[in-house]
Amino acid sequence: MNGRTYTADAEPGDTVTIAGWLHETRDLGGIAFLILRDTSGKIQVKLEKDEMDDALVETGLDASRESVLKVEGDVKEEPRAPTGVEVVPTSIEVIAEAETQLPLDPSGKVDAELPTRLNNRTLDLRREEAKAVFEIRAEVLRAVREAFRSFAATEINTPKIVATGTEGGTELFPISYFGEEAFMNQSPQLFKQLMVGSGLERVFEIGPIFRAEEHNTPRHLNEATSIDFESAFFDHTEAMDVCEAVVKAAYEAVAENCERELEALGLDEEFAVPDGEFPRLTYEEAIQRINATGALDEQLVWGDDLPTEGEHALGQDVGEHYFITDWPSEIKPFYIKDHDDDETLSTGFDMMHPRMELVSGGQREHRYEELIAGFEQQGLDPEAFDYYTKMFKYGMPPHAGWGLGAERLIMTMLDLDNIREAVLFPRDRQRLSP
């Protein structure tokens, strides 16, 4: 809209055109106030019934809540107004009317359940709190990109329609591709690895991953956003260094640039950028510490996956972000390299928030023969992955990398109860639209 001023930019003495949603009408008799809201904030519009044009006053007072209005007028200082200024209108126009029955209350006075919010995301995101999550999400992704660029990584985009899966068959979504079976990609794993052998060497991708997980949990989505990194000539410890730096960069950017959003979420006092190095525990130490908490009925033994309650107990015990390293080879995927001096130990690592896993990574198997053997051990047919394995015959450098769930990063950063709050339109067992 030509010449439109954001409400937050309206200064006393200005003549402005503002546009936004009618947040509230306060009719005090001789005088009435319209509170107009746009993406930048809210502003008071004053209606003086005896002094102003009747038609103008009537248009303002008749407008239903959440209708879109365009208001022209003069900005005056008014210490009693919520923002210290108000607009004295010379014209009010209803651009788009809202029905009086709304499926949820954007003023936030009436709480709505998450399914109602997700079914009416447009209205939900008129609430400052919900909107703040996505402003912060955008800032996190911006900061992460910048951090990767500072490490000289190149942003890539790999296919999401693929012929084979990487993380086992059960979590794949099959689709029909011109009569042939294809799948939605679970992870850019194999593609990003192929790039470390290309002239690019160090790459990152921020893109969707699709997992046909059957279970509905507060931390799983069927379509998630993965922040992936992979670098040639890196071992797992160097990959962990970058992982830690990227996560800290995200927190720092939010602390620095999202003051208003943190305030809207009630986090401005408690938001803390992780400081110091993330502790690096071996898997062995992790299971000992979990066992020592007494949180589990049965003691964990070497080779066990960490159950969710175990992760929680350990997270509480550690109390900050941490890595778990040196996993048993048998519980990490085939493409992860084992330690050279002990093949029962994997270079795979997880990076954890006290509440849950955020990252999995490791050094990769770059030696052709060992890679093929790994496929066979995992019960996968190496022939089906020929497009991938054959590149390991033409000079594939040692490399390492990781994948970080963007929604889990945001969920833990903002202490959200449910991962769905960090996605505009989540996909889960029950939800395919909107």
Q: Closest by alpha carbon to 18, among 71, 61, 95, 94?
A: 71
Q: Is 277 a catalytic residue?
A: no
Most distant CA pair in the chain, distance: 89
- Given a contact cutoff of 8 angstroms between Cβ atoms, the answer to whether 290 and 315 are in contact is no
Q: Between residue 173 and residue 232, which ones bind ligand ATP under the rule CB under 6 A?
A: 211, 213, 220-221, 224, 226
Rounded Cα distance between 291 and 300, Å, is: 6
Residue 213: which of ligand ATP, Mg ion, none does it interact with, CB under 5 to 8 A by kind?
ligand ATP
Residue 403: which of ligand ATP, Mg ion, none does it interact with, CB under 5 to 8 A by kind?
ligand ATP
- Given a contact cutoff of 8 angstroms between Cβ atoms, the answer to whether 191 and 155 are in contact is no
Q: Among residues 399 and 408, whose Cβ is nearest to ligand ATP?
A: 408
Q: Which of 126, 211, 399, 420 is catalytic?
A: 211
Q: Is 427 a catalytic residue?
A: no
Pairing of strands 322-325, 280-282: parallel
Q: If you search the block for the tokens 């210490």, which residue do you land on?
A: 79
**Total binding residues toward ligand ATP, as defined by CB under 6 A:** 16
**DSSP per-residue string spanning 206-230:** EEEEE-------TT--SEEEEEEEE
Rounded Cα distance between 274 and 259, Å, is: 17
Q: Is 280 a catalytic residue?
A: no
Burial zone of 243 (CB within 10 Å; 0-12 exposed, 13-18 middle, 19+ buried) = buried
Q: Among residues 89 and 362, whose Cβ is nearest to Mg ion?
A: 362
Q: Between residue 330 and residue 349, which ones bind ligand ATP under the rule CB under 6 A?
A: none
Q: Closest by alpha carbon to 89, among 123, 57, 118, 66?
A: 57
Q: Is 213 a catalytic residue?
A: yes
> Candidates 102-110, 130-138, 286-294, 355-363 — which segment interacts with ligand ATP by CB under 6 A?
355-363
Q: Among residues 359 and 422, whose Cβ is nearest to Mg ion?
A: 359
Q: Which of 171, 261, 357, 421 is catalytic?
A: 357
Q: Is 357 a catalytic residue?
A: yes
Rounded to the nearest whole angstrom, what is the least distance from the CB of residue 232 to Mg ion in the complex? 22
Q: Between residue 115 and residue 174, which ones bind ligand ATP under the rule CB under 6 A?
A: 167
Q: Among residues 338 and 350, whose Cβ is nearest to Mg ion?
A: 350
Strand partners, 405: 226
* Residues at the site binding Mg ion, with contacts judged by CB under 5 A: 360
Strand partners, 181: 176
Kindly state whether residue 364 participates in binding ligand ATP, applying the rule CB under 6 A: no
Q: Is 231 a catalytic residue?
A: no
Just list the catalytic residues.
211, 213, 219-220, 357, 360, 408
